Amino acid sequence: MSAADGAAGSLVKADLTRLSLNQKTTNSWGVAQAVAGCVRKGIPAIGLWREPVQDIGVERAATLVRDTGLRVSSLCRGGFLTAAEPAARQRALDDNRLAIDEAAALGAPCLVLVVGGLPDGSRNLPAARERVADAVAELAPYAGERGVRLALEPLHPMYCADRAVLSTLAQALDLAELFPVEQVGVVVDTFHLWWDPAVFAQIARAGGRIASFQVCDFNLPIPADALLARGMMGDGVIDFRPFREAVDAAGYTGDIEVEIFNADVWAADPDDVLATMIQRYADLVL
């Protein structure tokens, strides 16, 4: 990836109306810088993260995005709902209610949920999954009343033990479908799902349950911090267009968020990252 990638004539022709910058992609920027970056580059939407939002306060962040006319495509993230110990579980539920309130204040249509992995020392995967289901049942009406949809994110199976016991879109839909569609949806993230032989059938099944569509590439080798294997589109192994077409065919008309955790991307000039992101989005996703 180089800055030159972004300096191209095709930019003026690309349709950016559905493009959203997930704030994590420009990890060194606070909310104000990310919002300003989107405005400079003509990116109409942003996916916010709780920590940088809290750094400046929810009201200030909400004002910033409202004043620029940006859409908030999602708030990342709630979840981590697998604690077995009652006090820890209560803390998690309370924090998720707060996250729902923040999403509502920001005008985010959905709160992305990374549901959590196995508690330390536990090997009881079915029990962890049950606690997730119970917690979603507690949170869903609260979210619905505030106009926020819980977006269950199946994570790549390599994160099953430590991040999310929800690993496939089928599994996420099995859970989401227990609740009203306006309360609980799912995230389709190419990085997490690209390998799944059932994914296109499940995207078709998902239909109106798709609350968020996130794109980024799967890079090899998997780095020492496995969370940072996410790459700029085109740098890895994923064929994006079939995913975008499948999500479109399922009826999803929302934003397409680019969310990249990657040490090299984070070390680059964020303005160059945005330029490359726009170019790759136009060339590989649209």
Contacting residues toward its own copies, per CB under 8 A: 118, 123-125, 129, 156-158, 160-162, 167-168, 170-171, 194-198, 218, 220-222, 224, 226, 236-239
Short-list 92, 111, 90, 91, CA closest to 101: 111
Q: Report the C-alpha gap between 237 and 240 in whole angstroms.
A: 9
9 versus 197: smaller Cβ distance to its own copies: 197
Smallest distance from the beta carbon of 271 to its own copies, in angstroms?
A: 28
Taking the complex as a whole, the smallest distance from the CB of residue 68 to its own copies amounts, in Å, to: 36
**Residue 61 contacts by C-beta under 8 Å, 6 or more apart in sequence?**
31, 48, 52, 53, 106
Minimal distance, residue 254 CB to its own copies, in Å: 25
DSSP assigned state of 14:
S
> Nearest approach, Cβ of 274 to its own copies (angstroms)?
24
Nearer to its own copies, 88 or 237 (CB): 237
Indicate the residue among 36 and 282 with the shorter CB distance to its own copies.
Answer: 282
For Cα atoms 215, 224, 272, give the angle at the middle one, nearest 5 degrees.
45
Q: Which residues is 111 bridged to in the sheet?
A: 75, 150
Cβ neighbors of 42 (< 8 A, separation 6 or more) are 16
Q: Which is closer to its own copies, CB of 61 or CB of 135?
A: 135
Q: What burial class does residue 56 get, using C-beta atoms within 10 Å of its C-beta: 0-12 exposed, 13-18 middle, 19+ buried?
A: middle
Q: What is the token pair recorded at 117? A: 């992995």
Q: Which CB, 213 or 218, lies closer to its own copies?
A: 218
Smallest gap from Cβ 237 to its own copies, in A, equals 4
Give the span between the Cα atoms of 277 and 173, in whole angstroms: 29
Residue among 37, 39, 46 at smallest CA distance from 18: 46
Of 33 and 168, the one with the shorter C-beta distance to its own copies is: 168
CB of 240 to its own copies, least distance (A): 9
